[in-house]
Chain A
């Protein structure tokens, strides 16, 4: 049994007096995909941002691979994490390749190592090589998301943190990317923490699901556990809150 990727104990956060996250304990196991799921304002993004140190907790401690995140070590620890957000968060003044390689070249990697890593990532994410010299404004939403993923993976991080990565995509692109993401996660075998509000996506990509509501964790476990023994009626409601066109077909009068 390897050490957990993250251990959060008694972590809470308020923004200007509004509670975003009540004191929370959470252990994120290494080597699998954990999905933080909930409605808007449930605290799932805050939880993820606490893990990478973009927000500092009001109370409690965040441990990354056994080391507490502090002001002093957050920069170096972050380089062992990859982070991606909705829309990609790409730097508009840099090409796709420059976006991906920014940190590696800042750290002074030799050009050969950068090139090798880049072509490996292009292959892994099935990104068209020709798109590398494009600027973010010239990329489609799906392409931007692949570039964002490559940027997150460039330094070979131990964990990948993704905040609604597929949030703004059309259903078909989203479906394709979900498939590709799953393949990538499986190939890499890394720890992944994913934030989404889509239970279908969570069930497809994640091994461990963490349901949040109003700044609190309601329940965490596998999909099966959530369905079989829900800790709260809301868990059941949330798990079932998904429409499928097939249901409509069945309900239609013949």
Chain B
């Protein structure tokens, strides 16, 4: 098989991919529904202005998006002012929008004005009960010490959570319980608790008919939604900036809650939710392409196979010689196996994140990470396969006068082939599973529907990724069983006489 040819072909296609970048605006979004919807709004607006836009959805958390923006992997993504001040410039104690703008500008990043809503902590009560007690603002709670409060553990612990709220408003309630966020809504419904913490644009506000109380003493930090974009975009695609800037001040909390609810509760695709908003609010008819389920499956399969095959081929090319080295020089072998073993112990998520500053986001870092994970089984099985050859056989080959290389090719590698193949099989099967994590950094594959499914709590969607991935793993397993029949010499597969 001509692997070199295949490798260069695959490498060629990634290069071609990289070259397109100049003309395209890359939009990023975080791994939660609101961010994906905002990213989709930006993408459709930029497209409608005649600039090619690609949405690299649900790339992960703040750190990944921020790094990708700084390195130019993405050009624009939705963020919150509170996050910028608290996380990206933690320790700089930025106060006010101007300070934030200046800190961003120093890194070559620009920020739009607020899109119109503030997604911060809020205190929610059932609409009907709040109405009955006449509670509109958080300060109204002080008149009702009998109210039972249930907060998420994070909110109770954070200094800017419950402790701050209690002190700022002088709240008298003593019955405060820690409760799981999802259970809190059910507890509200059954009146086990009267109020809980929530995010002010949470879809569940609509679903459970809740009232978000007004933070009249400004206890909670502002998390105004904005768009962060590379300052260089002004020269690269100025029309893109003017197009997505049309969102500024146009999305209020009610709009956002409604869009979140449509995506999360009604399971409407974010593309559709965003398109409807644009046509209703801005009168823009964005062209929405909704690929069919089969198209999506094929796309994910292609992405997945790309990740797996390229990383596996590279791993074979490197691990096989390393395994031979291990067998020939056991002392060097211990070092090699040690290093390769340590790589294996790095949690995959951590490894992916380490890769981002070096290789950016997308397929490249994923392939490198998968490549690193594939090394150990192949190196170890190659080494042990070669070491397992009896001294009698090795010396018989030597005594014939066969040179080193010919001994390896004609005797030792064929004899070790069952073990080597088993190692490659193990790597391949693990690889198919691990490749699903590539979706976290924008590499696509079957991890994409899994990730979206987890975000939307949609088991069906999770299965759309998990089932094909599992089937692919089985297929790979079977393929190697067949391959073993072709590659492993017949003499090694016979039961002994």
Contacts and interface: CB of A to CB of B under 8 A. Distances in A.
Interface of A: 52, 54, 75-79, 81, 83, 85-87, 89-95, 102-103, 106, 135-140, 151
A94 to B, nearest CB: 6
A85 B491 contact: no
Given A89-B393, A93-B414, A94-B489, A140 B497 contact: yes
Nearest to A138: B497
Interface in B455-497: 489-492, 494-497
B189 to A, nearest CB: 70
B400 A137 contact: no
B492 A93 contact: yes
Most A-side CB within 10 Å, residue of B396, B406, B410, B489 = B396
Contacts of A83: 396, 399-400
Given A90-B393, A91-B491, A94-B489, 17 more contacts: A54-B395, A81-B399, A91-B397, A92-B492, A93-B411, A93-B491, A102-B400, A102-B402, A103-B401, A106-B410, A135-B490, A135-B491, A137-B494, A137-B495, A137-B496, A137-B497, A139-B497
A95 B490 CA distance: 9
B403 interface: yes
A54 B399 contact: yes
Contact of A78 (B399, B411, B489): B399
A85 B396 CA distance: 8
A78 B401 contact: yes
B398 A54 contact: yes
Nearest to A85: B392
Given A89-B393, A91-B411, A93-B491, A106 B398 contact: no
Given A89-B396, A93-B415, A106-B410, A136 B403 contact: no
B400 A78 contact: yes
A48 to B, nearest CB: 10
Interface residues of B, number: 24
Most B-side CB within 10 Å, residue of A86, A93, A138, A140 = A93
A91 B401 contact: no
A85 B402 contact: no
Nearest to B406: A106
Interface of B: 392-393, 395-403, 406, 410-411, 414-415, 489-492, 494-497
Contacts of B415: 91-93
Given A137-B497, A139-B497, A140-B497, A94 B491 contact: yes
Contacts of A78: 398-401
Contacts of B393: 89-92
A89 B392 contact: yes
B396 A103 contact: no
B86 to A, nearest CB: 64
Most B-side CB within 10 Å, residue of A86, A92, A138 = A92
A102 B406 CA distance: 11
Nearest to A77: B401
Q: Closest 8 A-B residue pairs measured CB to CB? A: A89-B396, A93-B489, A135-B491, A78-B401, A83-B399, A79-B401, A137-B496, A89-B392
Contact of B494 (A54, A90, A135, A151): A135
11 contacts: A54-B398, A79-B401, A85-B396, A89-B395, A92-B415, A94-B491, A103-B400, A137-B496, A138-B494, A138-B497, A151-B400
Nearest to A76: B401
Most A-side CB within 10 Å, residue of B392, B397, B399 = B399
Nearest to B399: A83
Most A-side CB within 10 Å, residue of B401, B415, B495 = B401
A201 B85 CA distance: 92
B407 to A, nearest CB: 10
A91 B396 contact: yes
A137 B494 CA distance: 7
A83 B496 CA distance: 24
A100 to B, nearest CB: 11
